[in-house]
């Protein structure tokens, strides 16, 4: 699908970014399945990189950054799936409306001798179509709630990772200030020694 020489020459991180751009293009064309596949591939590539870095005892900040990117692609995957399901449900509702109302209106447009009174109300909207619509709606709501819960977990994980990163950054900043002070004191002591000799 996208395994060109150019793609293979890129680093795994660049490959993941390229796949994300391709997913965005697919979304603009409403090719949801392709967009989902691109995000899944990007997450898989980044997961492989993360696994390699874990084996090599890489910097924790790098590992956290990679995990955040993987979570982002998984979240996008779920959001696109939700968007696709919403679109399909909307199209099914639209088809249901047009199929149940088209026949009587078509007769009126064609100046048919059949009167509207001759149609039983069950012809227009059957109870089975109502129950089918309700079932579809219930399934959609259940899936939507599951996606929302998953996204909530991902958001909380990312918030925790951000807190960990910010505390590490503060520790590094404090250590940097301390080292600068020690360096300054060392230079001042060295200057005093030069003046005394």
> What is the C-alpha to C-alpha distance for residues 34 and 92, in angstroms, rounded to an integer?
21
> Domain 12-98, what fold?
Methane Monooxygenase Hydroxylase; Chain G, domain 1 (1.20.58)
Please report, for the chain, the start and end positions of each structural domain, with discontinuous segments joined by +.
12-98
Helix (H) or strand (E) holding 80: helix 60-109
**pLDDT higher than threshold 80 for residue 112:** no
CB atoms within 10 A of CB 173: 10
**pLDDT higher than threshold 90 for residue 89:** no
Per the CB < 8 A criterion, the answer to whether 32 and 84 are in contact is yes
Question: Does 91 or 113 have the greater pLDDT score?
Answer: 91
Mean pLDDT score of the chain: 78
No. of helices (H) and no. of strands (E), the chain? 6, 0
Question: Does 47 or 117 have the greater pLDDT score?
Answer: 47
Predicted confidence at residue 154, as pLDDT, reads 86
Confidence (pTM): 0.47
Quick one: pLDDT band at residue 146, thresholds 50, 70, 90? confident
């Amino acid at each position: 699908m996208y395994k060109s020489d150019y793609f293979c020459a890129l680093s795994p991180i660049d490959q993941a970014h390229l796949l994300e751009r391709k997913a965005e293009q697919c979304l603009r064309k409403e090719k949801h399945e392709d967009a989902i596949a691109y995000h899944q591939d990007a997450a898989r590539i980044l997961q492989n990189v993360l696994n390699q870095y874990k084996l090599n005892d890489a910097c924790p900040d790098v590992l956290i950054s990679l995990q955040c990117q993987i979570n982002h692609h998984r979240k996008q995957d779920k959001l696109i799936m939700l968007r696709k399901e919403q679109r399909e449900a909307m199209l099914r509702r639209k088809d249901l409306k047009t199929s149940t109302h088209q026949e009587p209106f078509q007769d009126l447009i064609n100046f048919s001798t059949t009167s509207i009174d001759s149609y039983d109300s069950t012809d227009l909207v059957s109870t089975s179509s109502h129950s089918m619509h309700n079932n579809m709606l219930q399934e959609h709501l259940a899936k939507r709630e599951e996606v929302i819960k998953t996204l909530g977990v991902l958001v909380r994980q990312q918030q925790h990772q951000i807190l960990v990163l910010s505390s590490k950054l503060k520790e590094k900043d404090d250590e940097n200030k301390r080292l600068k002070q020690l360096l300054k004191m060392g230079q001042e002591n060295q200057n005093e020694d030069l003046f005394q000799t």
